[in-house]
Every structure is written in structure tokens, then in C-alpha cells.
Amino acid sequence: MIRMQTSHGVIEIELETDKAPETSANFLQYVKDGFYDGTIFHRVIDGFMIQGGGLEPGMKEKQTRSPINNEANNGLKNERGTLAMARTQDPHSATAQFFINIADNKFLNHSSPTIDGWGYCVFGRVVKGMDIVDAIKGVATTTKGYHQDVPVDDVVIEKVEVID
Amino acid sequence: MTTLFISDLHLSQDRHDTTELFIRFLQSIAPGAKALYILGDLFEVWLGDDMILPDYRTPIAALKKLSEKGTPVYVMYGNRDFLMQQGFEEVSGATIIHEPHILDLYGTRTLLLHGDTLCTDDVAYQKFRTMVRNPQWQSEMLAKSPQERLAMAKKLREISKTETAQKANDIMDVNQDAVEAVMREQHVWQLIHGHTHRPAEHTFELDGKTARRIVLADWYTSGSYLSCDQNGFQSTVLN
């Protein structure tokens, strides 16, 4: 189990190590390296998702490890409360950034092994603290440079750790 | 109060009529608007903030006057004027916005794009775009002398002209899959863009909801602007 301490409260996450082994292992490695500590949720869209884990306050991007394979064809769906990997247009470009779905986002699911159909890989779900996620989704947002939907006040991921 | 949108003016020394029309628009229609958004290709070419062409001075001064009078002006890069930087913002009083830009338009989350990124069928153009949007290419370009930059722009324009003439009409329009992908990614059901020179309002179904894509007109034969307020959109042609 993963315990994520944010500036808004604690979120507990169960990883899908069986269905998304590479993605879970990748996430765990970033957790163990302390990579996520001090990063922010930098993209918050009410009715959609909250995304973070790659930028520090001031919109500074952190150096990540290499991208991983997209395991979105594992049958897991982007339902409310699930965690999935963020990425660029290239299906196999996820590194550290992840998002938490706050709605059932069917269109993010895998439909075919093509650029448009790969979808976004679900690798975990929130088991406790969905009220914290809902509090974060409601914060005021603005545009900062090239980034849209950035919280006006930093929503900080203070510490992420593995608990029993 | 209304919010105004224009694009694809392609101001240049060869198009004095357009420049005059634009200045009239800035002086008589835009004042009092909540904001003016210029969604790309305001200028036919922009070779760097340090070499503003003489013909651009009057429209830039008119933009400055508009923002000083209280109507903020937001300018997005097109496929021709992407080398505008802080120096342009200073002389024009406008703010450069980067795509994809999200706007709360009277309660509707709206995506603003220039539109060239949607033309994914035009593979050659997308390759060119990747090259010229690369920060390294841009700083190398801006480090060249004004003469070299002029020559380079002329060369690129000629390549573009020849290629455009050879391209099938339909690859120059947007790809619907690309439209839907970016709208989903940005979680919007309303999109405003220019670039294709095919003004229209398209509606289609996207994930169970009605999506709207509004395409702005160019200023080649006449001027045109889109205005939006609480009651909806209106497109007006200027003569």
C-alpha cells in the first residue's frame, strides 16, 4: 500500500502489481527514490482528473528515468478513484507523472494498439482519502506559462511512502 | 461585454488593405470588448523582435492603444509568426498565449488553438513544424544576421508555396481524430481555431455530448471577427 501525504491530507493507494507489473514497479521505484516528495498536482480539471508527480513548485520539471511500456491493454478501466500514468501523444512515453481519475473516463481506456487507441494505463486505485482528492479537484486554477489548469495555490505532494 | 476572436490576418507589406481594415477594427470595434484574442498568423512573417518590419509599426501601435484603453489583447503563435517573443509583447502591449490555451468563455470551458496541429494528415508540414518549433532551431535562426534571416524566410516561403500547390485539398483540413483527441485530452466540448481558412461552425457528438468546433475566417478578401457573449457567438464580416 502507498501512503501519499499532500498539503490537503492523506491519500492511500493500492497498486495493481499483477495487472500492471511494469507500471507499478516503475511507480514504486520513484516512491523509493523519494522522487515524488515535494512535487505538485500541476493540472487539475474538475469533472476529469488531477495530475501531478513531475513538477516542483514554480513549475520546474524534474528529471525522470526513461519512459516505460504502456500496459493499458491490461483490462483495467479509467474509473473514478483509479490512478493512471500520464504521457505525451506517444503511447509509450510515461515516466513519473500520474493522474487520479475523478470521473469514469471511458475515452482514456485502451481500445486498440494504435496511437489513438492505446489509452492510459491504470495501475492503482485510491482506497482511502477520496474526499481529499475531491477537495483538490475543487481548487481554483489558472494558466502558468505553457501550462493550463494549474492550481493558483500549490497543491503539494509532501511525502509518498510504502506502508504495510 | 463581448470577447472577440480573429486569426489569419497575414499582415504584410503586400497587403495594405488588410492592415488598414485591421487598424479600423482595432479603433472602432475592439474598444470596449472584454478581450481580443488573435489565434495565430497575425503577421505573414516575423523574423525576430529586433527586426520589426516598417509596415508592422502602425498596426502594432494600434494594438498598444487598444490595450492601454483597457481591452487586453492575447496573441497566439501561428505557423508564420512563432518567433515573436517578449520584445513583441513590450511594443504591442499584447500578451503571448501558448496553445493549447483554455479559456472560461461565459461559463463554457473552451479550447483555443491556431489549428495547424490538427492537420495531422499533412505529414510534411508536421515535420516542418517540429523543426521550426524546436528551441535550438529558433535560437540559431535568431542569431543570424537580418539579411540571412530575410533570405531564409524567403526560401521557406517558396518551399511552402510549391508544396501547398501540390497538396490535395483534404489533407490541408483538420483530421477529425486529431480534433477529438485534443478535445478529450483538454476535457472540452468547445474549440475555436483558425489556420485552415475554412470558416464554419461544426457540431458533432463527443462521448455523449454535443461538441462544437468554430473555425475563424482569414482576412485575405475581407476582414472578419467572431464575437461571443452570454447569448452565444456571432460572426461578422468587415468591408
Cα end-to-end span (Å), chain A: 6
Q: What is the pLDDT of residues B27-62, one digit of tens each?
A: 999 999 999 999 999 999 999 999 998 899 999 999
Q: What single DSSP character describes residue B116?
A: G
Q: Do A148 and B97 touch (CB under 8 A)?
A: no
Does residue B165 surpass a pLDDT of 80? no
Residue identified by cell 524546436 is B134
Q: What is the pLDDT of residues A21-69, one digit of tens each?
A: 999 999 999 999 999 999 999 999 999 999 999 999 999 999 999 999 9
Q: What is the pLDDT of residue B169?
A: 75
Q: Residues near A30 by Cβ (< 8 Å), separated by ≥ 6?
A: A36, A53, A65, A96
> Mean pLDDT throughout A158-162?
98
* Domains defined for chain B, CATH in brackets: 3-238 (3.60.21.10)
Q: Residues near A25 by Cβ (< 8 Å), separated by ≥ 6?
A: A17
> Mean pLDDT throughout B87-97?
97
Q: What is the pLDDT of residues A73-108, one digit of tens each?
A: 999 999 999 999 999 888 999 999 999 999 999 989
**DSSP string for residues in A50-77:** EEESSEETTTEEPP--------GGGS--
Does residue A123 surpass a pLDDT of 90? yes
Contacts B98 to A, Cβ<8 Å: 145-146
Q: Do A148 and B100 touch (CB under 8 A)?
A: yes
Task: For residue A91, give Cα distances in angstroms to A4, A72, B127.
Answer: 26, 9, 19
CA B8 – CA B4 distance, rounded (Å): 14
Q: Do B97 and A47 touch (CB under 8 A)?
A: no
More confident residue, B164 or B18: B18
More confident residue, A146 or B85: B85
3-state secondary structure B6-24: ECCCCECCCCHHHHHHHHH
Q: Which residues of B touch A (CB under 8 A)?
A: 97-98, 100-102, 177, 181, 184, 186-187, 207
Q: Do B207 and A143 touch (CB under 8 A)?
A: no
User: A2-158: which CATH number, 1.10.287.70, 3.10.50.30, 3.80.30.20, 2.40.100.10?
Assistant: 2.40.100.10
Q: Cα B42 to chain center, whole Å?
A: 6
Q: Which residues of A touch B (CB under 8 A)?
A: 45, 47-48, 89, 106-108, 116, 143, 145-146, 148-149
Does residue B99 surpass a pLDDT of 80? yes
Task: Kindly indicate the confidence band of residue B166, based on its pLDDT and cuts at 50, 70 and 90.
Answer: confident
Q: Are strands A9-15 and A2-6 parallel, antiparallel or unpaired?
A: antiparallel
**DSSP string for residues in B126-193:** HHHHHHHTSHHHHHHHHHS-HHHHHHHHHHHHHHHHHHHHHS-GGGGS--HHHHHHHHHHHT-SEEEE
Q: What single DSSP character describes residue B79?
A: S
Q: What is the pLDDT of residue B163?
A: 76
Closest chain A residue by Cα to residue B183: A107
Residue B195 corresponds to which amino acid? H
Q: Do A148 and B184 touch (CB under 8 A)?
A: no
Q: What is the pLDDT of residues B193-210, one digit of tens each?
A: 999 999 999 999 998 899
Q: What is the pLDDT of residue A132?
A: 98
Contacts A106 to B, Cβ<8 Å: 207
> Mean pLDDT throughout B90-108?
95
Helix (H, G, I), strand (E, B) or coil at A27: helix
Over pLDDT 70: what percentage of chain B? 100
Q: Can you list the pairs that B206-214 forms with residues at least 24 positions away whose Cβ atoms lie under 8 Å?
A: B206/B180, B207/A106, B207/A107, B211/B180, B211/B183, B213/B179, B214/B190
A158: left (phi over 0), alpha (psi -120 to 50) or beta: alpha
ipTM of the complex in this document: 0.74
Task: For residue B215, give Cα distances in angstroms to B174, B178, B207, B224.
Answer: 10, 15, 21, 12
Interface test with B, best of A43, A44, A46, A48 (most B CBs within 10 A): A48
Q: What is the pLDDT of residues B135-145, one digit of tens each?
A: 999 999 999 99
Q: Do A48 and B187 touch (CB under 8 A)?
A: yes
CA A5 – CA B130 distance, rounded (Å): 39
Q: What is the pLDDT of residue A128?
A: 98
Q: Do B101 and A148 touch (CB under 8 A)?
A: yes
Domain boundaries, chain A: 2-158
> Mean pLDDT throughout B142-156?
90
State chain B's mean pLDDT as an integer: 93
Asked if residues A127 and A12 have their Cβ atoms less than 8 Å apart, the reply is yes
Q: What is the pLDDT of residue B53?
A: 87
